[in-house]
Structure 1
Amino acid sequence: MGERRRGEGVGVVARDVEAYRKAAHEMVDFVADYYQTLQDGKGPLSPDGPLPVISAVEPGYLAKVLPAEAPEKGETFDAIMRDVEEKILPGITHWQSPNFFAYFPANSSYPGMIADMLCSAFNVIGFSWVNSPACTELETIVIDWLAKLVGMPDCFLSNKKGGGVIQGTASEAVAVALLSARLRSLRAAAEGKGLTYDLLLEKGVPGEEDNSMKLVAYCCDQAHSSIKKACMIAGVRMIRSIPGRAETNFEFDAVALEQAIEADIQAGLIPFFISATIGTTSSGACDDITRIGGVAKKYNVWLHVDSAYAGPAAVCEEYRGVFAGRELCDSFNFNAHKWMLTNFDCSVLWVQNRTHLLDALSITPEYMRNKASESGLVVDYRDWQIPLGRRFRALKLWFVMRSFGAEGIRQHIQDGIELARYFEEELKKDGRFEIPVPRSFGLVCFRLKGKGNEANQALLDAVNATKKTFIIHTALEGKTTLRFAAGGVMSEKEHVDNVLSLLKDSAASIV
């Protein structure tokens, strides 16, 4: 590390506001130095060259250098920050590095970080409107802003039957959607028998198997694993995973979906939930929402659309066509914390009819009753999520949207896509590589032409072993396939050239 200067003379930061003021200034300097070091390739935290993108530590390294018990007396800020630099930083994989192209982008931005400071300072627990009216009302406003920015149909706005809410992750969003769909279907099944479905007691139809055991969910085999986890949480035992095929770019097959639904109805089962994807994790496949939505409407099955990665691209008019059919879905989700400059966590879920969500998740013990909530004039977002407590996450989205503006957000999306396009074109010029599926937004899938899984894994390992970049792999029809995901805030053409050079040099020793 470079010459230390952080935290000197600050002392113990516990309840002393002036010590906090000085430490906070020092922390801002540390964060600025960290980002400068990432962006410039060297700097105050690494004067001799770039920080390794992937941490090189071994499992269990930290327990060997930290005490086994908490300190009895408070320690100085200086001592804590010394350990941050010397013990924590070596164990960090630098997601904000311009040379990080693994998984999907996990954008951080200065406005988002500043807003997160404010969120932590206020530290409101905004489960009810009365707890902090600004926390609730700002969320409603900025989610409507965002809905309009990405061209969501009007039925998802808060002044209609629908509305939006910030969840922690897309996994939470799909769980909320699935629970809402579950209640809607079970209630309909009970009412079809002239009965009233009791949510709390889970009563089925007398003399018959519990209807909850007959529920069936559907997705493509390319869908995110969180859908299966949501089924596990909700006690849904049957999920049909429809295979995606290479000849259709691994998209959800609407014909196969309808055939599966028909077969399940004939078997006396209850189709209740479909999850489609715009921008799958493996290959960026974009399902045809209009066709899938037509099937969902025909059989009155809840349609959830997971666009955790690609959703922010809808800010650009030229990509809106991929998102056609959103008016047919019951819920739609994307992560602003992936590709929209908003620090983790900020996953936005919209529903077309909030009544189903509220019916599935609302519960009001006596100690939460208050006049504002019972007036029906306010929103209590605790009823829109699984946890009770919630942070003031809307501040981050508000700061980001105001600081960058719609124009700046569009430019960020377009820049990431352009870098991916450049990477794809340069790779195509090298006859040793093949691109098995079309580039999807900022994601390019590729592999060594004519080589098996072992060779492609060796290529991945060789590139990542340099610590100069980070990419990951997936499997498409059993074939090891490497992924390059552009969209980092600081990534530029020179960083893409760095990855290309590493790939070509490493390929030379394998091919």
Structure 2
Amino acid sequence: MAKNYEEFRTHGKVLIDYICNYVKTIEKRPAFYENLKPGFLAPQLPSDMPENPESFTNVLLDFDQKILPGMVHGIHPDFFTFFGTGNAYPSVIGDMLSGAIATVGFSWASSPSVTELEYIMLDWYAKALNLPDFFLSINSNKNSKGGGALQASATDAMMSFMIAARDRAIKQQKNGRRDSHQPGLGGNEDAAYLPKLVCYASVNAHGCVEKVANLCMVKYRSVKVDADDKMKASALENAIREDLENGFIPFFVVGTSGTTEQGAFDELDKIGEVCSKFQGIWFHVDASYGGNFFMLPSKRYLSVGLNYADSINVNPNKLLLTAADCTCAWVKDVQGFVEAFDVEALYLKHQYEESIVDLRHWGTPLSRRFRSLKLFFMFRMYGLEGFQAFLNKVIDVGEHFATLVTSDSRFRVKNDAKNGIVCFRLNRNDHVNESLLKMINDTKKIHLLPTICKKKMCLRFVVNREYCSEAQVKRAWLLISHYATNLRDEIKRRRALSIEGQAEENDELNQENSLNFKDRMTIETNESAVKKSIQDDETPTVAPKDESAV
């Protein structure tokens, strides 16, 4: 029996009440699932699709009792792990409308408003971020060749841009070749260039860069970072020159504004200057997280160098409270970009295709949801001032947590903790910090991730949720400090037992005067091994001046 929308009128109200209660009472739930292992869900659900319709009430009840307990609640006050995805209700409304309207959205003709609203929203966002004018569409800048559209994720954006850059690089190589009939280049001659193409990103870049490079069948080269975890422009230039000398073709460079693990901002101007020295390199900026801070005039210095960029992506779902999926991607030359995806079919043609770029040309998918509706509601119901207020709060709460950490001499903050990400560690070796992390996560009260910052294993703490407050991070800090104290006491206990054991062994040595020299040396060697084991476990990984004892 077909499900009509009069039922939805009733069930939708129930569901909205359920969602509101979920958000309102989230603190009463555990932030993380408990005692679950892979395969927990299948035994709780039918093995086959039901033959007869079931009631909405029963389905929602199963969701609540069987599925929801297996969720990590990203909006929970004790969630400091990943970048919490936004769930602000204006964006949820946009997604509800998108699902109800059910457009295919692949061309202007298929739904004119889908295409045009997306371009308008991307212009609004680009202006709010103060991006270079060449990223605006022709609607906002009559002289522009650029524009922006939505992608499902930063990885999808990276894939689209790398494919376009690869396409451009191969065309440049073919056009510059004197002999178009080189050996080895047959009917599929484009493929012959793939092993020579190289893309570059810092060792701290998101893993999607390497993943996409593998999918594009090009070489990936990670570039060293400086003492602040930013890509070294000099190292990038050296790598490019080395590859050129060895016959490779550098074609794609990724700079990062707000690395996932450390929150570091590459110096885009220096990277851009390096790229400009070499012909044909596409410079992409992955600003998934940190690019949102460009909304703040006080943070605009972080965007210096964007004038060199060929493309950029920023994710409102990572720092502007918007529900996923929502990656905004802009390109300097739209026509050059879409050439890589322009495959025509008769049923896709329409009379205005020369006047406007269809959304299907912005990547590999054909059909598209009405994604821009969530931005339409978010931008209008929050406004620029609302977003700026939230971004400033993220900065303030992050700095407050960093202050709590630095006020304890046992700890040290290792990153520039001014953008909602704090990387910190005990002033001990990595093994001790790993133990602290495990103790904290085993409580299931809060959850942190490990990361590498300035070549040290650190604990990563993120505060990008809408309702995250100074009171909440203080509560989290008290728990962290408590377990650091427990760990210190445990180390002292282990050391005391080890010293006691050594004392007993020394007594035995004094009583064994008849032992020959060889036997005595064997026992002394064992003693040294035990002592070294204790030292390795407790000695800081850098000079005591840098990292004092717990």
Instruction: Provide the TM-score with structure 2 as the length reference.
Output: 0.84
Q: Distance in 1 between matches of 2:43 and 2:439?
A: 29
- Listed as ranges, the gaps of 5+ residues in structure 2 are 139-143, 489-550
Quick check: 2:399–2:418 contact (8 Å CA) kept in 1? no
Shift of 1:233: 1.4
**Counterpart residue number, 1:182:** 166
Q: After the TM superposition, which residues 30-49 of structure 1 pair with which residues of structure 2 at under 5 Å, given as runs?
A: 30-38=18-26, 41=27
The one of 440, 444, 463 aligned to 1:463: 440
Matched, 1:308 2:288: yes
- Residue 99 of structure 1 corresponds to 78
Instruction: Rate the CA distance shift 1:255–1:166 in 2: closer, same or farther, 3 A.
Output: same
What residue in structure 2 maps to residue 448 of structure 1?
A: 426
Task: Measure the CA separation in 1 of the matches of 2:328 and 2:179.
Answer: 35
C-alpha displacement at 1:342, in angstroms? 1.0
TM-score, normalised with respect to structure 1 = 0.91
Question: 1:405/1:265 Cα in 2 relative to 1: closer, same or farther (>3 Å)?
Answer: same
Q: For each residue in 1:95-139, what CA deviation from the matched residue of structure 2 results, as whole angstroms up to 9, or x when unmatched?
A: 111221112231110101111110110011111111111110000
Change in Cα spacing, 1:196 to 1:144, as seen in structure 2 (3 Å) is: farther
| Alpha-carbon distance in 2 for matches of 1:196, 1:437 | 52
1:222 aligns with 2:204: yes
1:112 is matched with 91
Aligned equivalents of 1:165, 1:380: Cα separation in 2? 10
CA distance, structure 1, for counterparts of residue 186 and residue 16 of structure 2: 49
Change in 2 beyond 3 A, CA 1:396/1:196? farther
The one-letter amino acid paired with 1:162 is G
- Whose radius of gyration is greater, 1 or 2? 2
User: Following the alignment from structure 1 to structure 2, what is the Cα–Cα distance between the partners of residues 131 and 312?
Assistant: 32
Q: Which has the higher contact order (CA 8 A, sep 6+)?
A: 1
Alignment of 1:18-97 (within 5 A): 18-38=6-26, 41=27, 50-56=28-34, 57-97=36-76
Deviation at 1:212, TM superposition (A): 2.4
The amino acid of 1:316's aligned partner reads: L
Q: 2:344 maps to what in 1? A: 364
Q: Which string of whole-angstrom CA distances, capped at 9 and with x for unpartnered residues, describes residues 336-380 of structure 1?
A: 11111210000011101112211111111222122222xx11220
1:282 is paired with a residue of what secondary structure?
Answer: coil
Residues 1:165 and 2:149 are matched in the alignment: yes
CA contact (8 A) 1:421 1:442 kept: yes
**Matched positions, count:** 478
Return the alpha-carbon distance in structure 2 between the equivalents of residues 89 and 480 of structure 1: 33
SS of match in other structure, 1:58:
coil
- 1:141-173 Cα deviation digits (max 9, x unpaired): 010000000000100001110100100100011
For 1:240 and 1:96, the matched residues in 2 are separated by: 36
| Contact map agreement 1:442 1:487 (CA 8 A) in 2 | yes
- Whether 2:100 is the aligned partner of 1:121: answer yes
**Alpha-carbon separation, structure 2, partners of 1:212 and 1:380:** 28
Q: Note the C-alpha offset of 1:74.
A: 0.6
Q: Distance in 2 between matches of 1:464 and 1:200?
A: 57
* SS of equivalent residue, structure 1 residue 131: coil
Mapped contact 1:279–1:440 kept (Cα < 8 A) = no
CA distance in 2, matches of 1:226, 1:476: 19
Contact 2:201 2:255 in 1 (8 A): yes
The amino acid across from 1:166 in the alignment is L
Share of identical aligned residues, percent? 35
| Partner of residue 410 from structure 1, selected from 383, 388, 405 | 388
Alpha-carbon separation, structure 2, partners of 1:125 and 1:200 = 38
Secondary structure of 2:60's match? helix
State the partner residue of 2:277: 298
Please tell me whether the aligned partners of residues 423 and 453 of structure 2 are also in contact (alpha carbons under 8 angstroms). Answer: no
Runs of 4+ in 1 over 6 A off after TM superposition: none
Q: CA deviation at 1:202?
A: 4.2
* 1:82-105, Cα deviation, whole Å (9 max, x unpaired): 111111111111011122111223
Note the C-alpha offset of 1:501: 1.1
Q: 1:286 aligns with which of 247, 251, 265?
A: 265
The answer to whether the 8 Å contact 2:415/2:453 transfers is no
Task: Tell me, in whole angstroms, the C-alpha distance in 1 between the residues paired with 2:481 and 2:414.
Answer: 18
- Distance (whole Å) between structure 2 residues aligned to residue 263 and residue 503 of structure 1: 46
Structure 2 CA distance, aligned partners of 1:61 and 1:453?
33
The letter for the 2-side match of 1:71 is P
Match of 2:255 among 258, 269, 276: 276
Q: Does 1:323 align with 2:303?
A: yes
Do residues 392 (structure 1) and 380 (structure 2) align?
no
Aligned CA distance change for structure 1 residues 92 and 423 (closer, same or farther; 3 Å): same
Taking a change above 3 Å as real, the CA distance of residues 196 and 358 of structure 1, as seen in their structure-2 partners, is farther
User: Which letter maps to 2:67?
Assistant: I
* 1:7 match: none
| CA–CA distance in structure 2, aligned partners of residues 387 and 500 of structure 1 | 44
User: Residues 483-508 of structure 1: CA distance to partner in whole angstroms, max 9, x if unpaired?
Assistant: 01111011112211121011011111
Instruction: Determine the C-alpha separation between the residues in 2 that align with 1:370 and 1:448.
Output: 63
**1:276 corresponds to which letter in structure 2?**
G
Q: Paired residue for 2:526?
A: none
Cα separation, 2, equivalents of 1:66 and 1:478: 46
**Which residue in 2 is equivalent to 1:424?**
402
Asked if the contact 1:167–1:348 (Cα under 8 Å) also holds between the matched residues in 2, the reply is yes
Letter in 2 for 1:503: I
Structure 1 range deviating more: 465-474 or 105-114: 465-474
Change (3 A) 1:176 1:422: same
Distance 1:459 1:312, change over 3 A: same
Deviations 1:303-338 (A, max 9, x none): 000011111111110001011111100001111111
Distance 1:190 1:397 in 2: 41
Shift of 1:479: 3.4
Indicate the SS of the match to 1:210: helix
Q: Could you tell me which amino acid in structure 2 is paired with residue 479 of structure 1? A: K
Describe the shift of the 1:58–1:336 C-alpha distance in structure 2 as closer, same or farther (beyond 3 A): same
Q: Which amino acid aligns with 1:393?
A: R
Aligned residue number for residue 189 of structure 2: 203
SS at structure 1 position matched to 2:277: helix
Task: Give 1:238-253 correspondences, 5 Å limit.
Answer: 238-245=219-226, 247=227, 249-253=228-232
1:231 and 2:217 aligned = no
